[in-house]
Amino acid sequence: MTPLLIIGASGRAAARSMIRRGFTPTVIDLFADVDTRRMATTLKCGDYPHGFSALAQQVPPMAWVYTGGLENHPDIVDAISHRHHLIGNSGAVLCSGLRDPIELCKTLPALGFHYPCCLKRLPKDFSYCLPSLALQGGAGEGSFFESGTSRLWLRKPYRSAGGFGLSFISEPSPHHYFQQYIKGLPISAVYEDDHLIGTTTQLCGEPWLHTREFQYCGNLVMDDSPHAAEFERVGRALAQHFDLRGDWGIDAIAAESGLCILEINPRYCASRELFDHEMPRGKAIYYAPHRFAFPEGDWTGFADIPAAGTILEAGEPVLTLYGGDLLELKSTATKLDYLFGFGP
């Protein structure tokens, strides 16, 4: 078994996948959950993201990968890579424009793919024709924006992950940009190098999981996706253009007018574990409906399990649940509501 260091906001899913690939993981993340500690040597980081570098110095040199959040900190990725051999995308790749929404407005249409119009600031009167605005923003063919879309704009953080910090139009700031809101089904794809592993529908802002609007909260595997061929073409083109390697993924919207890419995630994605052998077809993240202490119990079948007695505040992630379809996931979430004192 080959040792592997996994660093990110949550390392449990990656650890599970990497064990199946023949690695022995060490994890540094924000939670040090019970099941993570069972499968890997685990260190808890209390100073996100800068504490990762110091904790990585305590681990013997080995190969390493990162999960969600660190793609927004290329300097930290490079700092850790001085001691550990990175399997994945370096700081130079992260700074190549794939995380810059304004730059992607030019790059993706030039490669033949749709991407929403993105602006650093909105004009005072932004109610005029969206196709014209899309063309001004470098978003490519205006016809894509003429149907199946909403004339609304999202304010998004430049350094975002998991849908945190998204809102409809509000006051601008140096840390935010505006992206045209595309109406459709949120979907995603995961890759290894330039090979498509699979596609999923995304659960975002689901009230039965007590999430905020747009917040990522799970995935369901798509069989025979009508977008599989397009995702294969996208993956090959982006892997070549940005020199992407290892595990990475794409978030997109399946709109009436076609597939629209929203974001490139150049690291291990949470949905990747659903394509591991004998995994269920769906997963969902249950968020705390109110403040409570996590109870003792048999949590077999769940993941990302907090230690008994952990105080969870409203809106914090509690655990991950699995199911074969959306109905099963909802049923399990309802049982958790009753267990945690949120039922009627």
Taking the C-alpha atoms of residue 222 and residue 185, their distance in angstroms, rounded to an integer, is 12
pLDDT-wise least confident of 74-83, 88-97, 150-159, 284-293: 150-159
Concatenated DSSP letters of 257-309: TEEEEEEEE-S--GGGGGGSTT--SEEEEEEPSS-EEPPPS--TTEESPPPTT
Which residues, 6 or more positions from 247, have their beta carbon under 8 angstroms from its beta carbon?
Answer: 65, 88, 190, 191, 192, 267, 268, 269, 272
pLDDT tens by residue, 114-133: 999 877 766 555 443 343 33
Q: Confidence class of residue 98 from pLDDT cuts 50, 70 and 90? A: very high
Q: Confidence class of residue 329 from pLDDT cuts 50, 70 and 90? A: very high
pLDDT tens by residue, 296-324: 999 999 999 999 999 999 999 999 999 99
Domain assignments of the chain as residue spans, ordered by start = 2-87, 101-180, 185-339
Tokens of 248: 């990475």
Answer whether residue 153 shows pLDDT above 80.
Answer: no
What CA–CA distances, in Å, run from 323 to 10, 19, 42, 283, 328? 21, 22, 27, 6, 5
pLDDT at res. 11: 97
pLDDT at res. 141: 34
pLDDT tens by residue, 161-220: 544 555 555 555 666 778 787 889 999 999 999 999 999 999 999 999 999 888 999 999
Q: Confidence class of residue 140 from pLDDT cuts 50, 70 and 90? A: very low
pLDDT at res. 177: 72
pLDDT at res. 155: 67
| Residue length of the chain | 344
Report CA torsion sign: 265, 210, 260, 190. positive
pLDDT at res. 158: 61
Q: Confidence class of residue 147 from pLDDT cuts 50, 70 and 90? A: very low
Please state, for a pLDDT cut of 90, what percent of the chain lies above it: 73
pLDDT at res. 154: 72
Q: Strand 153-157 vs strand 247-255: parallel, antiparallel, or unpaired?
A: unpaired
pLDDT-wise least confident of 124-138, 273-287, 318-332: 124-138
Residues 197 and 275 sit within 8 Å (Cβ to Cβ) = yes
Summarize the confidence of residues 154-162 as an average pLDDT: 62
Answer whether residue 250 shows pLDDT above 80.
Answer: yes
| CATH architecture of the domain formed by 2-87 | 3-Layer(aba) Sandwich (3.40)
Q: What is the mean pLDDT of the chain?
A: 87
Beta-bridged to residue 287, according to DSSP, are 317
Taking the C-alpha atoms of residue 219 and residue 13, their distance in angstroms, rounded to an integer, is 13
Tokens of 269: 């994605």
pLDDT at res. 326: 97
What is the homologous superfamily of the domain 185-339 according to CATH? ATP-grasp fold, B domain (3.30.470.20)
The residue whose two tokens read 């959306």 is: 326
